[in-house]
Amino acid sequence: MNRQTVALAGLAMSLMATGAWAEKIRVAGNFATEHSSSLAMQMFKEEVEKLTDGDLEVDIFPAQQLGGAAENVQAVRIGAVELIWVGTAYLTRTIPELEVIGLPFQFPDRETAFKVVDGPVGAKLDEHLAKENLVSLGYMELGFRQLTNNVRPVASVADMEGLKIRLQPNETHLATFRALGANPVAMDVKELYSALEQGVIDGQENPFAIIHVARYPEVQKHLSNTGHFFDFISVVANTDRLAALSEEHQKAVRDAMATAIAFQRDLAAKQDSEALDKLIEEGMEYTPVSPEFAAELRAATADIAGAVRQKVGEDLFSLVESETAAASN
């Protein structure tokens, strides 16, 4: 563990010793303060404090105030914070079964994606989270991920050849970009802007809204709406820390989070639809994906699902397949 995580662990021990967890929740995230998920967490804070008449306080730490995404995952596992909101991909090295909802071109739209995670698939994934002392409080929208780079417009799979692209630390995501001929590099989001600015990497991939609020147009020129993954934001709590709250306060946390997640999903869809125009206005060169390019992308990544099926097991993979098919009809 690095120095920051060690410090958080010390704080967790101190809080447990004094019983402070019963009165206060610390919530960590890496998203910008103006991102829809951070705004939703502010709503969560207000709802919890209203439902408990102020008896349960919530402190929100967005924008990497308590470290990057990977550090936040470790912090909630050891109980240094009670709750985090983080891109689901950052949890896959701890819970590899989560890769089953991160396949390329898996969901045709956001409505299908949420029907899947809100149903039996989400319940099954909760069982795997529980093994790591984590409990899911739901899924927000991160969105369809799009490609940017500083080398050339990308209008075909051939244009991706050799591009050094930053990805989240998710083996399925990395394998997908290798299959497309790119040179993927796993990197925490806290290092991304400077890596783009210094030319350490050629590009990155994120939803339009993230590309905008993270100011990537300042360091990226080309943009394509590849939509290669639909990505979730996982809201997870430390099981022991949540259980330390009274039943009334636990219910307040869950009810407040349900309200915040519903708000975020609506806002995320709106922000995503507006962000592309803003990115073009800010000087990015936009190359829309043609039907031919879309077909190329799907063909090149068709074998990725087989590796994930082997990793997560037939039962879970088949459940996701059947639930996705049902949700799409």
Query: Does 14 share its domain with 47?
Result: yes
Both ends of the chain: CA-CA distance in Å?
46
Q: What's the domain count of the chain? A: 2
Of residues 232, 102, 215, 68, the one with CA closest to residue 148: 215
Query: Does 216 share its domain with 253?
Result: no
Query: Does 89 share its domain with 59?
Result: yes
Q: What are phi and psi of 116, to 5 degrees?
A: -70, -50
Over residues 277-306, the mean pLDDT reads: 98
* Enclosing domain of residue 313: 146-229+274-328
pLDDT of res. 17: 44
pLDDT tens-digit profile of 230-260? Answer: 999 999 999 999 999 999 999 999 999 999 9
Any idea what DSSP says for residue 66? Answer: T
Of residues 3, 54, 4, 63, the one with CA closest to residue 28: 63
Query: Does 235 share its domain with 207?
Result: no
Q: Please report which helix (H) or strand (E) contains residue 104, including its range.
A: none
CATH of the domain at 283: 3.40.190.170
Instruction: Say yes or no to pLDDT of 12 above 90.
Output: no
Tell whether the torsion through CA atoms of 66, 67, 69 and 74 is positive or negative.
negative
C-alpha 70/C-alpha 136 separation (Å) is 17
pLDDT tens-digit profile of 158-181? Answer: 999 999 999 999 999 999 999 999
> Do residues 209 and 35 lie in contact, with contact meaning Cβ atoms separated by under 8 Å?
yes
pLDDT of res. 3: 54
Query: Does 42 share its domain with 136?
Result: yes
Instruction: Say yes or no to pLDDT of 312 above 50.
Output: yes
Query: Does 70 share its domain with 190?
Result: no
pLDDT tens-digit profile of 49-95? Answer: 999 999 999 999 999 999 999 999 999 999 999 999 999 999 999 99
pLDDT band, residue 8 (cuts 50/70/90) = low
pLDDT band, residue 5 (cuts 50/70/90) = low
- The pair of structure tokens assigned to 5 is 């995580």
